Amino acid sequence: MANSLPARSKVDKRFTWDAESVFPDKGGWEQAVDTILASLPDLAEFKGHLGDGPDTLADWLDASERAHRLMAKVMVYTTMSYSVDVGDQVAAARTDRARTVAAQLSAAASFAVPEMLAIGIPKLRGWIANTPRLAHLAHYFDRLEKLQEHIRSSEVEELLAQASDPLATALSVHGVLANTDLKFAPAVGSDGELHEVAQGTVAALLTNPDREVRRTAFESYADQHLAMRHAMAASLAGGIKRDVFFARARGYASSLEAALEPAHIPVEVFHNVVRTFRDNVGTWHRYWRIRREALGLEVLKPYDTRAQISASSLKVPYEQAVEWIAEGVAPLGEEYVRVLRKGAFEDRWVDVYPNKGKRMGAFSTGAMDTRPFIFMSYNDDIYSMSTLAHELGHSMHSYHTRGTQPFLYSNYGLFQAEVASNMHQALTRRHLLATKTDPAFQVAVIEEAMSNFYRYFFIMPSLARFELEVHTRVEGGEALTAEALNKLMADLMLEVYGSEVDVNERDRERVGSTWAQFHTHLYANFYVYQYATGIAAADHLVQRVAAGDQKAVESYLAFLKSGGSMYPLEGLRMAGVDMASPEPVEAAFATLASMVDRLEKLTARERSSAHPSREP
């Protein structure tokens, strides 16, 4: 078969992430697990004694940090080995074991927050003022005070922690089905050439200039998910019920409140995204028309919505992508660029290319005591460059946070995370549009921008609407079936397609399977809306940063360094954007509309130069 993937063992080590820097071998991982388990009795000895005095509390925090920092390394190593080869059953077993140990550690530490609240926030603040070892805890205790009505007794907290392991099974099942059990038929080009369809290749195939490659890849990928739809629906129902269970166990009115309130984000921020999205679907309808005309098609099908408009593809090797990204983010400073280049080239942050068994998607991972690693499947095109820019944004965010904050604040919320990633994409895009004047190149960059908007301002808001509806149904006692989920998803997608995308009944089913194709996102309670807020915040900030406004650069870097030491909205206000207002999301849709305008002008110019129809 043409375009088949290599086995993991055949991938050049230079383009794999450096797992040995986390643990030199599997024995190191095992030793770390044993150390964590051996620490559990020591942690238990603190139970009932945190109120003895500030030094005891400080000792507890030190002991807890040691165990949790090691646990974080264990989880990172586990993720690294399993993600690159989901057929590796030894790695799968390690993943299950790590999740169990994490739940045991969480249960062992679950008494701490209720005990601290029993001491009383005023007394704890007094300890902070007089105990240097506790001086960094002011924001942490402020968070606890705001959430104390949702924190249960130590016995209940321990039970909830223990329940986290079995209740995560739904996500695991969906992931195994998608990444291991699904077997996709190859895509077939108009020339009869076969192309392997896999989690690491499908995105590139759906942008292929050959319409037959796109159609057959779309059908192969969707049909296999439809074949598993009942099992996947049962898994998703389990995941949604988990969310509802935890929300009710903690006394929240809904799963949405349970997701947003701990991060101190008003629920209106979520509703602003959905409302603004629905108000702007007309921009998408116009875009589909322009895309159809640019492609020279009589009708636009679902598998044409990401098709490459340019007559020839823009090849972007990995090394070139890193260079362009580095040039794009140059306004953030020489040291910023130095760290990024070193991570991408020398320190092996990135697991670059697809291989057999590699799971779908892209993500940044890591912990306080590891490098900020990146997982992806690079395909030598501008879309892969965009993904790399996105994930490098996450990793540079982590680098700055972990290099600045104590362990307690070394993690940040998803709301902040998507700002840094989208900022990288926006800066890189602006740089290329400003420096590459060739019309074909400009079209390719705008296509990348529209691909990004497609994911973050079409798919993700649609999934957010889907997520809200399915949670509401479960909260109301309704059952979730594959047919109901597919119908709901198809209705939401076709609202954005409008009359411009031709969808027959069979393709409606395939489009409806979009929920099943997101194997982790819908199991992270109300996560997906934050892609839209992230791109909106980045779009709001990028102009001043790109212009070299030193104050804007400094405030943005301060935001990256703040990590979990501030509430998300406060950190973004420091950077220069108020996400409690609908204005940034509305402005981002205005940017989307301007990109559509620009694409229309460029493609009209190309058509006036006798661009031939490419409809077979």
Three-state secondary structure string covering 153-221 = CHHHHHHHHHHHHHHCHHHHHHHHHHHHHCCCCCEECCCCCEECCCCCCHHHHCCCCCHHHHHHHHHHH
pLDDT band (50, 70, 90) for residue 2: low
Residue 191: the pLDDT is: 95
Tell whether the torsion through CA atoms of 590, 591, 593 and 597 is positive or negative. positive
Q: What is the mean pLDDT of residues 49-57?
A: 97
pLDDT band (50, 70, 90) for residue 610: very low
Asked whether residue 143 is domain-assigned, the answer is yes
Pairing label, strands 363-365, 373-375: antiparallel
| CA separation for the pair 346, 21 (Å, rounded) | 13
DSSP lists the bridge partners of residue 300 as: 501
Count of beta carbons in the 10 Å neighbourhood of residue 580: 15
pLDDT tens-digit readout, 274-315 = 999 999 999 999 999 999 999 999 999 999 999 988 777 789
Radius of gyration of the chain (CA): 24
pLDDT tens-digit readout, 73-121 = 999 999 999 999 988 899 999 999 999 999 999 999 999 999 999 999 9
Residue 611: the pLDDT is: 45
Tokens of 137: 């805890």
| CATH number of the domain bearing residue 147 | 1.20.140.70
pLDDT tens-digit readout, 434-489 = 999 999 899 999 999 999 999 999 999 999 999 999 999 999 999 999 999 999 99
Asked whether residue 145 is domain-assigned, the answer is yes
DSSP lists the bridge partners of residue 363 as: 375
Q: How far is CA 463 from CA 198, 211, 466, 515, 533, in A?
A: 23, 27, 5, 7, 14
Asked whether residue 111 is domain-assigned, the answer is yes
Closest to 357 (Cα-Cα) out of 83, 92, 90, 1: 83
30 is catalytic: no
Is the per-residue pLDDT at 616 higher than 50?
A: no
| CA separation for the pair 528, 520 (Å, rounded) | 10
HEC sequence for 509-523: HHHHHHHHHCCCHHH
Asked whether residue 554 is domain-assigned, the answer is no
Q: What is the mean pLDDT of residues 540-551?
A: 92
Asked whether residue 552 is domain-assigned, the answer is no
Is the per-residue pLDDT at 151 higher than 90?
A: no
Of the candidates 158, 219, 391, 467, the residue annotated as catalytic is 391
* CA 333 and chain centroid, separation: 26
The DSSP call for residue 6 is P
Q: Exposed, middle or buried, 36 (CB in 10 Å: 0-12/13-18/19+)?
A: buried
**Rounded to 10 degrees, what is the CA torsion of 112, 117, 119, 124?**
100
Helix, strand, coil percent content, the chain, rounded in steps of 5: 70, 5, 25
Neighbouring residues of 482: CB distance < 8 A, sequence distance ≥ 6? 229, 230, 232, 233
Asked whether residue 309 is domain-assigned, the answer is no
Specify the number of domains making up the chain. 1
Residue 548: the pLDDT is: 87
Decide: 429 and 445 in contact? Cβ < 8 Å.
yes
Decide: 194 and 188 in contact? Cβ < 8 Å.
yes
pLDDT tens-digit readout, 411-440 = 998 889 999 999 999 999 999 999 999 998
Neighbouring residues of 614: CB distance < 8 A, sequence distance ≥ 6? 209, 211, 295, 296, 297
Decide: 357 and 86 in contact? Cβ < 8 Å.
yes
pLDDT tens-digit readout, 96-107 = 999 999 999 999
Asked whether residue 449 is domain-assigned, the answer is no
Tokens of 423: 């900022």
Residue 3: the pLDDT is: 61
Tokens of 159: 């039970």
| CA separation for the pair 318, 552 (Å, rounded) | 30
Closest to 76 (Cα-Cα) out of 411, 524, 566: 411
Tell whether the torsion through CA atoms of 418, 420, 425 and 427 is positive or negative. positive
Residue ranges making up the domain that contains 148 = 8-166
Asked whether residue 191 is domain-assigned, the answer is no
- Per DSSP, the three-state class of 567 is coil
Neighbouring residues of 515: CB distance < 8 A, sequence distance ≥ 6? 236, 463, 466, 485, 486, 488, 489, 522
DSSP lists the bridge partners of residue 375 as: 351, 363
**Rounded to 10 degrees, what is the CA torsion of 66, 67, 73, 75?**
-160
